Each structure stands twice: as C-alpha cells, then as structure tokens.
Structure 1
C-alpha cells in the first residue's frame, strides 16, 4: 500500500507541474499494482481523452466507475467522452447519474443545463442553471474553471425571466381593468416576482407569491362562516378516517416524494417515507373519486366550505398522518393566495405546531387556519399517530378580481412551461 501511495503522490506532483507523460507512466505503474485503482483508471482515461483516443478513454473511465460507483466526477468525465462520440442520450444519462450521486455537484448541474440549451431547450436549461447558481458559492468565490459557465448560466436565467415576464404581462393584461390602483400595483409586482425579476420580501411561496399581503401566521376562526358547521362534523369525519386507516392502508402515500437527483435539503429523511403520509381526497385540483366515495360525510363537509380553486394546484384535501416521534422540518408552502386549514382528528399529547413565531397545539375538533407560505413545522413526539384533515381555502384578503388574477397567472405559468 505504501508503494501505491508513493506512486499516487508522484503522479499527482507530475500533473501539477504539467509533466503529463511522466504522470501517465506513473499511473500505469499504480494500475499494475492495483488493476482496480479508481484514481489511476480515471487519470489514464483523462490522458487517453486528451490524446483523442475516445474508445480507450471510455474503457478506462467505465472501469473507474465500476471501482468507485459513487464518484460523480467519473460519471461526468464519461459524459464528456460520450458527447465527443456523438451519443447525446448516453451523455445525458451519465450527467443524470452524476447528479443522482450528488444533486449539488456544480459541474454536473452546469453540464446538464448546457446540454439542454444546446438542444434548443432554453426553458428547462434556465431552470437547471438557476439551481446551479443556487448551489454555487457567492460570485467572488466562484471556481475559476467554472466562472465562464456560471456567467452564461446567469445570462440564460435573465433571458428566461424577461421572456416570462412579458408573457405573463400579456396574458394578464385584461385582468388589470378590474383591479383598483393598489391591487394593480400588487399584481405588477407579482409578475416581476413570478418571473424571477424581483423577490418576495415577506412570506415565502414556492409557486405563486402575492405581494403586499400581510404575513399573518394564524387567522381567527370567527372570521370564517363555515367553521362552526365543519367542526360539528368532526366525529363523523373521524369515523371515516378510522375506517380508511383500518381498511384502506394502500390509499395512504408518502407526502414527500422527490425523484432521484433532486436536491432534497431538509427532506432527505422523509423522502418516500410513510412516517408522513397522506390520504388524498383532492390532489392538485383533482378529486380522488374512490377516496371521496369512501368518505361521504367528509366529502359533504368539504363541499360546504368552499375550497380554494386554482387549476393544477388547488384544491387539496387530505388526511395527514404523522407517525410517532416524527418531525416535519421548517418549510414554506406553495402560495399565500390560499390559506391552509387543519381540522385535528387524532391528537395525542406531545404534538405541537409552529407557524412563524407562534406555537400552537392541535385540539381535536378545533380548526387552525394559517398562511403556510410563512415558515412552519410540526412535531409528533408521542408514541401514537397524529392525524389532521388538511384543506385549502382562499386568502380572505384577496378580492374576487384578484382571485381571478391568481387563476389567470397560474394558468399562464402552466401554458408557458408546457411549451418547454
């Protein structure tokens, strides 16, 4: 082992001094001692690529990948060789594999964005470039080798933002006629925020942000006429919940379900986990007919509320199950155009909820109505299941005309993204 370490140090030193022939000879010695040495295989693959020997380079790099399957740099090098061989599909698969190994690997994010842009897909490219810019350090600390790519990425993102802003302005222009001057100013800011030309300065929304709405963590139950009737149905709704818990476990699915290669941040522990699961009655604006038929009293209760209606996004309604000793980490919701309602159904001790600064306890049959665009988190520190019914209602501070603007902008976003 000491001989190999000595040779690796010698090869690295030779590379640093630009003595490529000497480095390659030393790497060959390493490989003679350890035919599966990943660094030697990778380096010899790079040397072969520099000489234009693509077949030999690919063979060495694939062997390096077999020895070190989790190394994204090896996969990215394979993608470069495949690109030179004209294998577009293979190139993209190798890049995706590198990102599955490390979703924050900046060179692979830039490579994927460049691949998409070169193939006439500027909108998906801009989305990946945006992720790359988020993953990159602050600009003064950009790696010199990646600076030019990051500058190109930023320009692509800016072009995309300007195009989207113009598109949304055109699609929503007629809606401005129904707005007051202050509402119109809010929606001009909304378009700038939606297109990435500005940023929200209060709550944080992952899809659609309505500026200048006050960031109110919890709303008073008395402000909503339907609350009393809904709470009166708590026992009937709970009975239907218990029935599906007993008889239809297959209907519950993990609430967090990101695909491989997606940067997970705080969701890694709960991704594809039934520790936080949902039994959807409505999902992204679509009714789940089988589930609604199993829960007719719950369906009647929801119909009497008047759910938020944003095509492709709302209504959502579900039984949300949090397993014992499970923590939903701090996060933000999709839009402050809607509020989220919790009707607690099964609540053991040691269950708490936070929205912004405020901490609340769930009490069975007593609704919590809150703005989920404000950072929030939940805890079940008990040894039992905690279950609440969750659904969306309109933010009451939006006028009917503004609700129309929410729907119009949401539809325009889906239309725009559908052209990608």
Structure 2
C-alpha cells in the first residue's frame, strides 16, 4: 500500500507540474523528497521551482544532487548550467554543458549554451562554429519546442553575421589573386569562396532517373564544345517567327508544362500544376515527335535536325517552345539524367528575367544559346510584365562516348522492360 501511495503522490506531483500549479507542485515534490531523498524527479523539479523563484543557490544545490542521482541525464546538467550562470559561475556553467555533451555529443541545447558563452566572451567566431553545429542537428521549425526557438534564431543570426564577415575578409584577401584568373574559371572560384565562407553549399547532380557516376557537375557548358551552336543562333529570327505564329494561330496548343493528375504528389509544383503560367508548345516529347506542330514550324524542325539531339528511349529527345508568363517563377528542381544536357535558345526575353543553375545566374540574351546540366538544382524567374519564351531541347552530354550512349539506352530499355513485364 505504501508503494501505491507513493506512486499516487508522484502522479499528483507530475500533474500539478504539467498544469503549472506551482505552489501545489512544490508541496507535493517536497513530500516526495521527504519520502525518497534521492528521487531525481523531485530534486530536479524543486530545483526548477527554486530557480523560477530566484533562489538560485538552492536551485544549484538541488540540481547538483539531481545530477549525482542521475549522472547520465543531460537535461539535468543543462538546467544546472543555467542555474550556475545565474550565480555568475561561467566556468561552472561551461563545465556542466561540457558534461552534458560528453554524455550526448548531439545534445543541441548544450551546443547552443556553449555558443552563447563564447559569444558573451567576445569570441564571436568560435561561437559561430558552435552555433553552426547546433543548427545542423536542429529540429524542423514545425517540431521545435517554443523554448528553443529564440536561441536558435539568435544562433542563425550569429552564423549569418559570421558568414558575411568571413566573406568580406576572403574577398579582400584574395582580390589580387582572383584578378589573375582567366574569365572562364572566375565563377568556379567565386563559388569555392562562397562555399568556404558557408554562404552556400555545393550543388551536386541529382537525377530523377538515370545517374551516370563520375560525370562532373558543370552548371553551364562552354558552347564552343557544340559545333552546331553558331548555326542554330543564326536561325533565331526564323525560329522566333514560327513561334510567334504558333502563339497567335494555335495558342491553345500551348498547354501546361506541369500537369499532375489529381492524387499525385505535386510538391513544389502546386502553384504551376495544370497552369498555363508555364506553358509549352511541344515539338518532341519523351522521344516522340509532334508531327502536326513540327509541320507548322519547318524552320525550327530543320534547325533541330541539324543538332545532335539526345536519343534515350522513353525520355529523349524533347523539344518545345517554353512560355513563362509575367511575374511567374519556376521553383528550384532537378532533371531526369545527367547523360543529357538541356539547351535554351532565347526567343523573347523581356527585362527582369533570370535563370539560375546551381551557384551561377544568367540573364537570357535573345539568340544566344545556353547549354546546362539540368540535374543540378535550377530555377527561372520572369519578373517582367511581358511573356518570356525560349526554345528548349536536349542533347547528349559530350563527355559520353558512343559506347556509353549505347549503354545509357541499354540501361533505360532494360528498366522499362522490367516494369512492363508485370
């Protein structure tokens, strides 16, 4: 019966604590401690109550006793550190946090606490490093406890300020060395400095389907690698004229590029799904020609025939006029395979349009080809009041040999056959 009575007492104390009935909780926990002087929950909760009431010396004593009774509980050490901080014992605070991290190196509140100590001592760079480690393991904002939101927000700000300071330092220190670089490698080293300072992270190739390992993740390719570029650019006016006729006479054939069925997960495409804000006039789709649209655009069809388009069963070639409405953004996304690259021939480009692949940003120029790896995160914006239109098609990655291209097709065909058999 005594054991049952104690359990009832314990349950009542916990309930009073949970419901913030502080006076009742204090009385109940005091009775628990009288019956069991080493009860960790009583020592801990009475320590918290004492700290809340401003009786910091009592709080330190109770929390130290709680730690002795439960030496592997990091949360006890966290509150002991907070109590010591209120007495001005910064070293004791640090030691308690260090003990908590020795128990659990991923105990984020202790990392935040040590970062706060370092920041208070004027060691802002060391604090930023500590805060960065805490941020890496922080819960999602929707899952973050209220008591951690403010310290985390402050940590983010310190890390951001540190990044800005380090970026400025690196730019100043490396300025003369950077000036000696060839223009073709400037963006590589600007990105390297950005990664070094923590401003950005590396952008990798992420394929939705076939990933060919060991191909470099190059955002924009040098167009000199593609002998057909000059000829294609020379045909811009004819291609644009056909696009304008298609837009005028067959505007309803510009259909939503994003077209998920009901019930399919749309993720970042929710705003553009089944919307003509991003519309396409298809010439080739997943390896199948749109004969009617190609017949309406003979100059464009001839230009595409002069290009070595990628041919991957069930995937390529693709070609289309891509129309992006005013004040519309295509969210960051990744493509299907790095075995192919994507080409843009800009046809109608108002001001305030921007394209990003990985770290690099480009402004389209009418009649100037861009070739890029769309498996690197990329996005587009049309912040103008006018329509933006580009011709888009895909070509083989020039780093693949003929035998490797055959391997790409063999692999994709084998996968298709595997699923078709069921």
- Which TM-score band (shorter chain)? 0.5 to 0.7
In structure 2, C-alpha distance between the alignment counterparts of 1:307 and 1:323, rounded to whole Å: 27
1:249 and 2:262 correspond: no
Matches within 5 A, 1:7-46: none
Partner of 2:356 in structure 1?
A: 354
In structure 1, C-alpha distance between the alignment counterparts of 2:345 and 2:204, rounded to whole Å: 26
Runs of 4+ residues deviating >4 angstroms: none
Partner of 1:321 in structure 2?
A: 323
Over residues 228-249 of structure 1, what are the superposed CA-to-partner deviations in whole Å (9 max), with x where a residue is unaligned? 0000000000000000000001
Matches within 5 A, 1:97-108: none
State the shift of 1:419 in Å: 2.1
Partner of 1:385 in structure 2?
A: 387
| Aligned-partner SS, 1:250 | helix
Mark the runs of 5 or more structure 2 residues left unpaired by the alignment: 1-138, 144-202
1:302 to 304, 317, 320: 304
1:336 to 308, 323, 338: 338
Partner of 2:282 in structure 1?
A: 280
1:408 and 2:410 correspond: yes
Over residues 189-208 of structure 1, what are the superposed CA-to-partner deviations in whole Å (9 max), with x where a residue is unaligned? xxxxxxxxxxxx94101111
Partner of 2:222 in structure 1?
A: 220
In structure 2, C-alpha distance between the alignment counterparts of 1:414 and 1:202, rounded to whole Å: 26
Partner of 1:147 in structure 2?
A: none
Over residues 118-142 of structure 1, what are the superposed CA-to-partner deviations in whole Å (9 max), with x where a residue is unaligned? xxxxxxxxxxxxxxxxxxx99xx9x
| Aligned-partner SS, 2:351 | coil
1:399 and 2:404 correspond: no
| Aligned-partner SS, 1:309 | coil
Corresponding residue pairs, total: 223
Partner of 1:417 in structure 2?
A: 419
Matches within 5 A, 1:67-216: 202-216=204-218
In structure 1, C-alpha distance between the alignment counterparts of 2:267 and 2:295, rounded to whole Å: 37
Mark the runs of 5 or more structure 1 residues left unpaired by the alignment: 1-136, 142-200
| Aligned-partner SS, 2:385 | coil
State the shift of 1:251 in Å: 1.2
TM-score for both structures, normalised by structure 1:
0.52
In structure 1, C-alpha distance between the alignment counterparts of 2:421 and 2:388, rounded to whole Å: 42
